[in-house]
Amino acid sequence: MEIWQKLLQASITRPSEVTRRFGIDPRPLEAVAERYPMRINPYYLGLIRSVGDPIWRQAIPSEEELHDAVCPADPLDEENQSPVPNLVHRYPDRALFLVCSECAMYCRFCTRKRKVGGENMVIDQKSIDGGLDYIRSHPEIRDVILSGGDPLLLSDDRLEAILKGLRAIPTVEIIRIGSRVPVVLPQRITPALVRMLRRYHPLYLNTHFNHPDEVTETAAKACARLADVGIPLGNQSVLLRGVNDDPEVMKALMQKLLTIRVKPYYIYQADMVQGTNHFRTSVEEGLAVIQSLRGHTSGMAVPAYVIDAPGGGGKIPLLPEYLQHLGSDVVLKNYRGDLYHYDNSAAPPEEKRSVAANDHY
């Protein structure tokens, strides 16, 4: 058995095993773990420094999960945008393909909390084949995002069969893997795995770091292995109360990610998902994070801040008010708050522009 399989097998799945270690009462948490699965492997558990810290909050069940009277189970309306089981086709040219129902850790804030790790998320050969058939019969899909659950919890062979199936469809241009494994179980990124993955380029991987303490040497090594076989790495963080709802923490995270060759891609406003209301922040806080990044640090460290629109409208970007006025005079505000003007009336008229373009030849 490989190290990652041993770690996964040694995962804690009952609150009493954690609370004993930290000397707190397990009873209130048992009911939470009945409703929403828990799984924390020894590697990620080892990152906890104290009760209630940002790592703890992401991994250990909380009573608050059962006292959420605000949020619906499927706010993004994924189930209604699934033409076949386990595939969400929301945008014109790309599809989200759920290929594994398990994760290396069950994040308390998960957007698919309604089903991930539970019995009602059934992914089998039939649903995989159904997804591949759908993608094959929809040539407008040029970008397939493998998600779940976590696709990297599949065996190398099973994952390879899916990648092979996708590569046999000529209209699929790029494949993306969405995985939290580099963060929560980096030992899974083995030399054998990356040797397999490199055969299915162009392949991208978006991972999910939420806090600088997650960027360990082991995680860095996992990312290096992926980057070394030419897989561009992106990161999708969720803005979470008590985890990273602090511009300084987010800045440290974004900067650290660049040092391990991971490009910040998105920061998500927390979705309104049942059982996760205690993690939500205001939108103003998200805008403050972006404001603290743009101009103050590398542009490479600045992701897009998005809200995945409730009702299934897709991701909508939000920006602080850099554009103060749009007209023949454009008024702009820079990162220091100073105002600048751009003369928008001086663009050459259509006719002159085409002459200028012809001059080129």
Ligand X SMILES: *Cc1c(COP(=O)(O)O)cnc(C)c1O
Catalytic residue from among 241, 315, 322, 333: 315
Q: Is 94 a catalytic residue?
A: yes
Q: Which of 106, 176, 266, 308 is catalytic?
A: 308
133 given a catalytic annotation: no
Site for ligand X in 126-155 (CB under 6 A): 145
Does 114 interact with ligand X (rule: CB under 6 A)? no
Q: Which is it for strands 329-333 and 174-178: parallel, antiparallel or unpaired?
A: unpaired
On whether the CB atoms of residues 269 and 305 are closer than 8 A, the answer is yes
Tokens of 97: 């393909």
The catalytically annotated residue of 100, 103, 150, 266 is 103
Backbone angles phi, psi at 97, to 5 degrees: -115, 110
57 touches, from ligand X, ligand SF4, none (C-beta below 5 to 8 Å by class):
none
Of 36, 107, 108, 251, catalytic: 107
270 binds ligand X (CB under 6 A): no
C-alpha 344/C-alpha 328 separation (Å) is 5
Euclidean distance between CA atoms 148 and 82, whole angstroms: 14
Check if 110 is active-site: yes
Which lies closer to ligand X via its Cβ, residue 112 or residue 225? 112
CA distance 328 to 171: 43
Least distance CB 340 / ligand SF4 (angstroms) = 40
Q: Which of residues 163-222 bind ligand SF4 (CB under 6 A)?
A: 180
- Catalytic residue, chosen from 14, 68, 71, 90, is 90
Contact indicator for 84, 118 with CB cutoff of 8 Å: no
Is residue 112 at the binding interface for ligand SF4, with CB under 6 A as the rule? yes
Which residues have a Cβ under 8 Å from the Cβ of 129 and sit 6 or more positions away? none
Based on the shown chain and the rule CB under 6 A, indicate whether residue 88 belongs to the binding site for ligand X.
yes
Which pair of structure tokens corresponds to residue 221? 């090594």
Q: Indicate if 352 belongs to the active site.
A: no
Min CB(222)–ligand X separation in Å: 22
Closer to ligand X by CB, 182 or 303: give it.
303
Q: Smallest distance, Å, CB 265 to ligand X?
A: 7
CA distances (Å), 113 to each of 73, 110, 271, 278, in order?
Answer: 8, 5, 11, 14
Pair of tokens at residue 335: 């990162």
Tokens of 334: 């820079």
Of residues 286-325, those binding ligand X (CB under 6 A) = 315
Region near ligand X per CB under 6 A, out of 40-48, 85-93, 128-136, 323-331: 85-93
Instruction: Please state the φ and ψ torsions of residue 175, each to the nearest 5 degrees.
Output: -125, 135
Interacting positions 9-48 with ligand X (CB under 6 A)? none
Task: Give catalytic status of residue 195 as yes or no.
Answer: no
Whole-number Cα distances in Å, 296 to 45, 140, 256, 292 = 34, 40, 15, 7
Distance CA 98, CA 78 (A): 11
Q: Is 112 a catalytic residue?
A: yes
Single-letter amino acid code for the residue at 123 = I
For ligand SF4, the closer CB: 114 or 256: 114
Whose tokens are 């070394």? That residue is 228
Q: Which of residues 91-110 bind ligand SF4 (CB under 6 A)?
A: 103, 106-107, 110
**Are 143 and 90 in contact, with CB atoms under 8 Å apart?**
no
Q: According to CB under 6 A, which one of 149, 182, 212, 286 is a site residue for ligand SF4?
A: 149
Does residue 271 carry a catalytic annotation?
A: yes
Q: Is 100 known to be catalytic?
A: no
Rounded least distance, CB 59 to ligand X, Å = 24
Of 19, 11, 71, nearest in space to 38 by CA: 11
Which residues are known to be catalytic?
Answer: 90-91, 94, 103, 107, 110, 112, 271, 308, 315
Residues that bind ligand SF4 (CB under 6 A): 103, 106-107, 110, 112, 116, 148-150, 180
Contact residues toward ligand X (CB under 6 A) are 88, 90-91, 94, 96, 145, 315
